[in-house]
Structure 1
Amino acid sequence: MVVGLDHVQVSCAPGDEALAQAFYGELLGMEELPKPPVLAARGGCWFRSGSAVVHVGVEPDFAPARKAHPCLVAGDLDEVARRLGAAGHDVMWDDAIPGVRRLHTHDGMGNRVEVQQA
């Protein structure tokens, strides 16, 4: 039986790891994790903040995920929104779920990302 979630994976094009590092690492403040050498040879990068772990894998025929997405939880959603907007990322507030404060954006590679208030 499933007892938890280890990580989510999004994709990027070959050579776009810097875009992932700028978004997940610098903008969202997630720590970049070292990949095991055999996996590092494939490219991509891994990030963690609290219990949230995001793997960014390389796909030769990359197309951004527009519907599928990770949902990250933030302590200060307004600050995340401010930082996203200041960095030129779209911020789309969504009140479709009563009692849940959340927004949608796109990472540096164009993948959809949801962020909810803790």
Structure 2
Amino acid sequence: MEHNLEKAHVTLAHMRSHGVTAVAGYELFLLQKVPVELTALLFTDQMAALEAEIDSGDGEKAVPKNEWPHVTIWTGEKMVAKEANRLPQLLLEGKATQFEINPPITIPGTLGLYRVL
């Protein structure tokens, strides 16, 4: 869990999945401080993530291309963080639990790019 929290992030788009143009579309928001709203906790016995919404802070939204914007906070042994993308589907199948955060918690973030080689 400590490892995931130290690298906590919300993935808006993957270059491999969404293309260079989609990722380049976030240039307007690059390095801006943005409010990140945490709206729900989804978890199984193998992983947990916080559902997230991002606002640019100036009225324009940095619209995610990723189907389910979230912050992965915990994964079990031999689980990779990207497995948390499956949590909404697991919830629909009755294999995950969801707790709504109402009112949502807002935390600050900085919009940046991360390149995986």
Shared fold per TM-score greater than 0.5: no
TM-score w.r.t. the length of structure 2 is 0.26
TM-score w.r.t. the length of structure 1 is 0.26
